[in-house]
Amino acid sequence: MFGWAACAAFSMAGNTDFNMAKRDVLLRSIGHELLLRSGDSTSRVLPVEKIAENEYQIRFEKDLTFQPDYLVNTTRRLLAKDPLAGDYVVNVLNRGDASVAYEYAISKNKKDDLVPCKGRIQPTARYSIDIKFKSTAINIVKSGYVLGSLPFLAFVGFIVFRADRSKISPSKGQRTSKILTFGSASFLPQERQLIINKETIDLTGTETRLLLIFASSPNQTIARSRLQKEIWEDEGIIVGRSLDMFISKLRKKLESDPATKIVVIRGKGYKLEIS
């Protein structure tokens, strides 16, 4: 019985490895077709980089332009061949200033797709394409694989542990009674408050979690992908512009402290700069 379960587990692992390798080829194909559409048949699509769990980045050797509707149709057509792909979000980043040039979300249920402004051609720039897939752990269970194998149970346990840890981690930081200070500001995570020049400024839960990451690593660049992962990983897929919105709100709340500001590090992410 154990031998049969072990063989089933190894078979499942082999199929998963094959499908992940196939995903890599499909992602490279997306980049290749975009380059051809942009009129570039010579420059390279750089190796696809896995930047987080279920999140990949397609990068290019040179600048290019793209049509949003063509990008949407190309990703939908090619990723339909990925047996592990379900719902996913695509963020096109301008690596020059770390801004989001275009974004959309694709769902298995097509009526739930979120695809804005397809008709606007994007200017030539150095872009990268981030694709974040919704977790497929549930799909693996539905595929009919043997649930009794120990390797499979260990895998599921690992996924559950990570999900629980991501939910608990922010609240741990917020339970601390310590006051974090930087510049002229005092930050009280538990109370979700900033105190600057004796003025108390209230923060939302997301703003608190975001500022806690920055305050824990002052004057250090925090990758955009890390911020998205740590803030929203347990909430499913999101549209990338949410991060820009909360960064903007935090900047406004820190304006009264001239010694502190959140700055963009081009092509990398953000930094809480304290002079």
Condensed to tens digits (0 to 9), the pLDDT of residues 127-156 reads: 999 999 987 644 444 444 444 445 554 554
Note the pLDDT of residue 200.
92
Q: Over 90: is that where the pLDDT of 237 sits?
A: no
Q: Are 101 and 94 in contact (CB under 8 A)?
A: yes
Is residue 258 within 8 A of residue 110, CB to CB? The reply is no
Q: Name the band, by pLDDT with cuts 50, 70 and 90, for residue 11.
A: low
**Domain coordinates of the chain in residue numbers?**
2-139, 167-263
pLDDT of 171-201, one tens digit each? Answer: 444 444 578 888 888 999 988 999 998 899 9
Is pTM, for the whole model, over 0.75?
Answer: no
Q: Can you give the pLDDT at residue 139?
A: 44
Which whole number is the average pLDDT over 28-42? 92
When mean pLDDT is compared across 117-121, 155-159, 214-218, 232-236, the lowest value belongs to 155-159
The whole-number pLDDT of residue 155 equals 52
Percentage of the chain modeled with pLDDT above 90 = 32
Q: Residue 246: which pLDDT band, with cuts at 50, 70 and 90? A: confident
More confident residue, 215 or 170: 215
Question: 167-263: what fold?
Answer: Arc Repressor Mutant, subunit A (1.10.10)
Which of 42-51, 91-100, 143-152 shows the lowest per-residue confidence on average (mean pLDDT)?
143-152
- pLDDT of 114 > 50? The answer is yes
Confidence (pLDDT) at 110: 78
Q: What pLDDT is stored for residue 98 in this prediction?
A: 72
Mean of pLDDT values over 9-35: 80
Per-residue pLDDT at 151: 55
Out of 55-64, 116-125, 228-237, give the one with best mean pLDDT.
55-64
What's the mean pLDDT when you consider all of the chain? 78
